[in-house]
């Protein structure tokens, strides 16, 4: 817990003082983390105070998961110029060894081949390519790059099916990364594809 607390304190300051281009930490979301703490911590980073010797940290939602919202604006000269989005970051008590949950949230979800209409993002660094060396800033930069390089606004071909059947946690999805392109599949669909190819 101490390593997670120290790491997030550092990343919080970095986002406040030197955010990626077009990105701003939503200060209200950080303040909400403070007020959500039923044990009255003086700061959203002081997660260890939730553990009082009687309650396990994982029994308290505040201790188990911390949420930040990053406001984002589409980069100039891209298909998303002037559009405003929000990224939701959820950190478990195992962060940074466990990747955060990251998804678009709010009323405007970008129309992109790797972004589902429920906000889930197919991006390898959010799952199998995650490393503790990465950070909220590096994730933000990757998402900015992903949007900026888009040549056509469209949803993934399996968007409707995926949104109906997926887990609310995008990390529960089996993402299939194919070369430079990303193919989004559920576990059972992934199995079906390979079964069909073997016929």
Active-site residue set: 122
Instruction: Give the CA diameter of the chain.
Output: 61
Report which of 156, 164, 161 is spatially closest to residue 189, judged by C-alpha positions: 161
Q: What is the rounded CA–CA span in Å between residue 165 and residue 96?
A: 29
Question: 3-19: b or e for each residue (b if 16 or more CB lie within 10 Å)?
Answer: ebbebbeebbeebeeeb
Is the Cβ–Cβ distance between 122 and 175 less than 8 Å?
Answer: yes
Length, in residues, of the chain: 199
């Amino acid at each position: 817990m101490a390593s997670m607390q120290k790491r997030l304190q550092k990343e919080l300051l970095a986002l406040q003082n030197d955010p990626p281009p077009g990105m701003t930490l939503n200060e209200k979301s950080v303040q909400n983390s403070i007020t959500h703490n039923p044990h009255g911590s003086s700061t959203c980073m002081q997660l260890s105070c939730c553990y009082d010797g009687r309650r396990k940290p994982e029994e308290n939602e505040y201790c188990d998961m911390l949420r930040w919202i990053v406001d984002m604006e589409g980069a100039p000269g891209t298909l998303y110029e002037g559009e405003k989005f929000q990224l939701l970051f959820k950190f478990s008590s195992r962060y940074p060894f466990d990747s955060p949950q990251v998804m678009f949230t709010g009323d405007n979800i970008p129309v992109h081949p790797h972004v589902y209409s429920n906000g889930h993002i197919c991006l390898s660094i959010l799952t199998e390519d995650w490393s503790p060396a990465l950070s909220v800033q590096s994730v933000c930069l990757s998402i900015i790059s992903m949007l900026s390089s888009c040549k056509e606004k469209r949803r993934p071909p399996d968007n409707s099916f995926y949104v109906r059947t997926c887990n609310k946690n995008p990390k529960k999805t089996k993402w299939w990364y194919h070369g430079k392109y990303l193919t989004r599949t559920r576990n059972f669909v992934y199995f079906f594809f390979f079964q069909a190819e073997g016929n």
